[in-house]
């Protein structure tokens, strides 16, 4: 359910747990609370109110994080691929769209009359293809390390999470924006979601598994959340 506390929208999920857990999630500071199933809504709201100062401080960190400006997909704009910055060079052709990386340039070929929205859709699908190819390479490595295997995976643009896991269907989703981040970030998110297949909550058991499989996961998470954000995530 969604509740509003001091002007802040909070997603509340009631579970079979003993204690409440509060999260301010990247990349845009979305607030989530996990609460015991028998706890009243009034008690949950009171708990959130005691944390308002901390919530706002965390959201300010995301607010001041560097973000790309809205793009028009014209020459000179910046494009990020696997954490590296490229400068967009737009060429025109009626023979089909393409995007190629050459040195520090990302050469985008489109129809001259194409709109920014049309160019954006093409670039997003290009990101999707390179992300899917990398997932197909990286996922089997972590399946072998952990012994965990999802029943399926998909990519999609998400504004509040880098990945999600449906523990009932054993399927995971990975944020399309990961194609813009440094490669180890994808490793971290894949491992994070795989770990949810054996531990639903972010409890001590979950942390212990993450520590065992990727001892430096905290540093990678910090690096992921500190990299430049896309404009639509604001």
| DSSP annotation of 128 | H
Could you give the C-alpha distances from 49 to 8, 41, 200, 233, in angstroms and in order? 10, 12, 26, 26
pTM score, whole prediction:
0.71
Mean pLDDT over 10-28 rounds to 84
Q: Which two tokens stand for residue 139?
A: 């996922």
Q: Which residue spans of the chain are classified as CATH 3.30.2010.10?
A: 78-233
Q: What is the pLDDT of residues 191-233, one digit of tens each?
A: 999 999 999 888 899 999 999 999 999 999 988 887 665 644 3
Q: What is the pLDDT of residues 25-78, one digit of tens each?
A: 766 788 899 999 999 999 999 999 999 998 988 888 766 655 555 678 999 998
What local confidence, expressed as pLDDT, does residue 110 receive? 95
What local confidence, expressed as pLDDT, does residue 231 receive? 41
Any idea which fold 78-233 has? Zincin-like (3.30.2010)
What local confidence, expressed as pLDDT, does residue 232 receive? 40
On the question of pLDDT at 82 being above 60, the answer is yes
Between 20 and 194, the more confident residue is 194
Q: In what order do the strands lie in the sheet with 163-166?
A: 152-156, 171-175, 163-166
Torsion of CA 163, 20, 24, 131, to 10 degrees: 0
């Amino acid at each position: 359910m969604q509740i509003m506390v001091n002007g802040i929208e909070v997603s509340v999920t009631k579970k079979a747990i003993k204690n409440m857990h509060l999260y301010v999630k990247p990349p845009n500071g979305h607030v989530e609370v996990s609460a015991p199933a028998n706890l009243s809504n009034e008690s949950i709201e009171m708990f959130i109110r005691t944390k308002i100062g901390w919530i706002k401080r965390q959201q300010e960190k995301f607010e001041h994080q560097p973000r790309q400006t809205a793009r028009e997909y014209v020459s000179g704009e910046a494009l990020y691929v696997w954490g590296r910055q490229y400068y967009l060079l737009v060429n025109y052709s009626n023979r089909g769209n393409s995007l190629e990386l050459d040195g520090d340039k990302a050469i985008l070929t489109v129809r001259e009359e194409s709109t920014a929205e049309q160019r954006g859709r093409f670039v997003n699908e290009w990101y999707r293809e390179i992300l899917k190819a990398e997932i197909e390479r990286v996922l089997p490595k972590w399946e072998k390390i952990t012994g965990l295997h999802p029943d399926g995976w998909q990519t999609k643009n998400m504004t509040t999470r880098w990945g999600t896991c449906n523990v009932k269907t054993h399927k995971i989703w990975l944020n399309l924006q990961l194609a813009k981040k440094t490669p180890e970030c994808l490793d971290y998110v894949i491992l994070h979601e795989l770990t949810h297949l054996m531990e639903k909550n972010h409890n001590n058991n979950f942390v212990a598994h993450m520590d065992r499989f990727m001892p430096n996961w905290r540093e990678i998470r910090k690096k992921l959340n500190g990299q430049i954000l896309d404009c639509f995530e604001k």
